[in-house]
Amino acid sequence: MPQAQQLGRSQERIAVVIDPVLLQKAGGVHVLRALQAEKYCCVEASQAIPCSISWRRKIQVDAGTEWVEEERVLTVLQLEDFMGMVYNYKQVAQGSAGQLTTLSGYVTYMMEAMPQKIIALAVVGVEEYFRIQSKKKPPQAAASVNQEEEQGSLRNPGITRRDVEEALVDLQVSKQVQIQMFESWEELGEFVTMFTKAVAEAPFRRAKEETDFPFYSGPGCCGGPKVDHVVNGLLQVWKRQLEQIRQVNFAMAEAIAAAFPSPQLLYQAYSRLTSETERENLLVNIPSCSGAGGTFQAVRPYLSRQIYQQTTSYNPSLYLNYNP
| pLDDT tens digit sequence for 147-195 | 443 443 455 567 898 999 999 999 988 898 889 999 999 999 999 999 9
Separation between Cα atoms, residue 236 and residue 224, nearest integer Å: 9
Q: Nearest-CA neighbor of 52 among 26, 35, 31?
A: 31
Write down the mean pLDDT value for the chain: 79
Report residue 107's pLDDT band, with 50, 70 and 90 as the boundaries: very high
Conformation bin of residue 233: beta by default, left when phi > 0, alpha when psi is -120 to 50: left
- What the chain holds in terms of domains, given with CATH numbers, is 3-209 (3.40.50.10130), 234-312 (1.10.150.670)
Lowest mean pLDDT among 136-140, 214-218, 300-304: 214-218
Report residue 209's pLDDT band, with 50, 70 and 90 as the boundaries: low
Strand partners, 56: 15, 69
Interval 268-275 mean pLDDT: 89
Kindly state the DSSP code that residue 226 receives in the 8-state scheme: P
Task: Reduce the secondary structure of 185-211 to three states and give it as a string.
Answer: HHHHHHHHHHHHHHHHHHHHHHHHHHH
For residues 57 and 13, the answer to whether their CB atoms sit within 8 Å is: yes
Query: In 152-184, which residue ranges form alpha helices assigned H by DSSP?
Result: 161-175
Q: Nearest-CA neighbor of 188 among 122, 126, 130?
A: 122
In single-letter form, the type of residue at position 145 comes to V
Helix (H) or strand (E) holding 74: strand 64-77
pTM over 0.75: no
Q: Helix, strand or coil for residue 5? A: helix
**What confidence score (pLDDT) does residue 121 get?**
95
For residues 123 and 77, the answer to whether their CB atoms sit within 8 Å is: yes
Interval 261-280 mean pLDDT: 88
**What confidence score (pLDDT) does residue 43 get?**
94
In single-letter form, the type of residue at position 201 comes to E
**What confidence score (pLDDT) does residue 303 get?**
82
